[in-house]
Structure 1
Amino acid sequence: MYQPHVFTLTEDGYRGPAPSWRPGVPSVWLVDTDRDAEAFGRLASGILDASERARAQRLAFPADRACYTAAHVALRLLLGAHQGVAPDAVRLVRERCPSCDGPHGRPATGGGVHFSLSHTRGVALLAFADAPVGVDVERVPEPQVVAEVAGQLHPAEEAELAGLPPAERPAAFARVWTRKEAYLKGEGIGLAGGLHSEHIGTGPRPLDPPGWTVTDVAVPSGYAAAVAAGTAGRPPAGGSDRRK
């Protein structure tokens, strides 16, 4: 289980440590998007670019707008701290999609830092690394959702869920969903890559796809999260990372 850093917002921004990492070991940050929603909102106009502000406004529900705003303000504050620039000066771009070569692949900074962002109401996760990285956080779903969506998973994962007592299936489904989405985001293809394509597993420990390390992330009760780090050509992570 990976223990994330906790992002703490000050009255005028962020004054904590900048993200740093060793080869193959991502730096993962947990953001409570509800706690400081008003402060994030005040900072947004001077930090987010026009496209980010427009996307936030297109979200139908205030809670979703607040969550998106908090996550993206925190992202820019942390990237700015790492790069030594103002958060509004951070350049965000999209890589080419590896599946279709369209302009909707992994998000990037144009400056050698790989990062990934995920948010759901109340919580955001940010991951930074020197190699491709993906992160995902989700609420544990209702049993009906599990029954409706489990068929999209790898057949072995669907069988694993079916073999569990009904009360255990939502948490197991949330584990495998976040593991798989983190991996697919790290690959740069997202859910379009197909949830059935790799067997990563619903059990206590994920199975690593070739060239990747997938690790569950400690998040508040009622949520599940995972981070996937590209490991091709890199030595295994040592004992000083934040996994426990």
Structure 2
Amino acid sequence: MLGGGLRLWHGVADGGGLGAGREEGRAGGRAGGREEGRAEGRAEGRAEGRAEGREGGWAEGREEGWAEGREGGWAGDWKEGWAEQDLAEEDRAEDWAVLSPEERWRARRFMRPAETGHYVHAHAEVRRIMAGLLDCPPRAIRFGREPCPGCGDAAHGPPSIIEPTATLRFNHSRSEAAWLLAVALDGRRVGADIEQIRPLNAFTGLLDGCLTPAERAYVVDTADPVRRRRRFYHCWVRKEAVLKAVGTGLAGGLIRLDVRPYEPGTALVRADGPGAGSFLVHDIPLGRGLAAAVAEESA
């Protein structure tokens, strides 16, 4: 069961980045109403700058703005993509209008218009939800970061609210068109992760580079490759949610953190090292094609 001060929202943008998607608020484990939205198509790109793992020197993700699968001359696609994106910005004017200059700059770095739309919509929705909680206009919110508990650098610490003054904490995640927002109204540390479940390259290497022995045993305890993939993502989103709550992100050490995936629903997890603490990690069921988890600091 979710803690009394924890609320969640999630959604899916449509192919152009519009659409409220599904929004769900929970307080004390109670659902607070839902808005249903369906994506008519999935984006072909990958999320901004996300590495699906950085242990042992491998990186499964793609850098922001890198167009996947383009071999040979892609200049024509690039120019056409920007022409489409200029038109799409007009269609998404209400979303673009609430973003900060930095968010708009980041959005324009994507090569694929669909991915830009997903980023813009997700960040605009986060601003609107936070504005409702903070009683201010969405564009008036100034986001920042707390110092990383590992190195002290605020460039990659957990997200924070600089203006207006607030005691709540939040974390959000996006994977292609899907997004997830977790807010701890009581100010406890919180982390969230959502992932599209898709085939993985070098699967054995990921198991060895990311999972503890107990987690690896859980993943391979089935001969079905589809179940193995889902079990890996189950471990992954729990790990990233906890490490985002800790404040170090993936640098906090994937292979040193055991998230007890064999305990369904909610598990109490201990994170050692910088930002050490105990966290309740909750599985968030969002459908067969998604894996999601939220971690909240244990009282």
Q: Relative contact order, CA 8 A, sep 6+: which one is greater?
A: 1
Aligned counterpart for 1:88 among listed residues 133, 139, 143? 139
Task: Note if contact 1:141-1:174 (Cα within 8 Å) is conserved in structure 2.
Answer: no
Q: Is the 8 A contact 1:175 1:224 kept in 2?
A: yes
Q: CA RMSD in A?
A: 2.0
- Tell me the CA shift for residue 35 of structure 1: 6.5
Aligned residue identity for 1:174: Y
- Contact residue 282 and residue 295 of structure 2 kept, 8 A: yes
CA-to-partner distance for each residue in 1:153-173, whole Å, 9 max, x for gaps? 112212222222233101101
Determine what percentage of the aligned residue pairs are the same residue: 31
Shift of 1:218: 1.6
1:219 matched residue in structure 2:
286
Counterpart CA distance in 2 for 1:172 and 1:201 is: 12
Deviation by residue 1:92-129 (Cα, 9 ceiling, x = unmatched): 11000000000121001132120011011121000000
Measure the CA separation in 2 of the matches of 1:155 and 1:60: 39
Cα distance in 1 between the residues matched to 2:208 and 2:198 = 15
After the TM superposition, which of the residue ranges 147-156 and 202-211 deviates more from structure 2? 202-211
Q: Counterparts of 1:149 and 1:45 in 2: how far apart (Å)?
A: 37
- Report if the CA contact (8 A) 2:17-2:177 is conserved: no
Larger displacement relative to structure 2 (179-188 or 106-115)? 106-115
2:18 matches 1:29: no
- Alignment-derived partner of residue 193 in structure 2: 136
What TM-score results when the alignment is normalised by the length of structure 1?
0.80
Within a 5 Å distance, the mapping from 1:1-244 to structure 2 comes to 22-23=4-5, 26-34=6-14, 37-38=17-18, 41-103=92-154, 104-110=156-162, 111-129=166-184, 130=186, 131-142=188-199, 144=201, 146-152=203-209, 153-167=211-225, 168-203=227-262, 205=264, 207-210=267-270, 211-231=278-298, 234=299
**How many residues are paired up?**
212
Counterpart Cα distance in 2 of 1:39 and 1:216: 25
Q: Which has more strand, going by share of residues?
A: 2
Partner SS state of residue 269, structure 2: coil
Which of the pair has more CA radius of gyration? 2
Task: Quote the residue 1:9 is aligned against.
Answer: none
Structure 1 segments unaligned to the other structure (5+ residues): 3-20, 235-244
Aligned 8 A contact 2:158 2:247 in 1 = yes
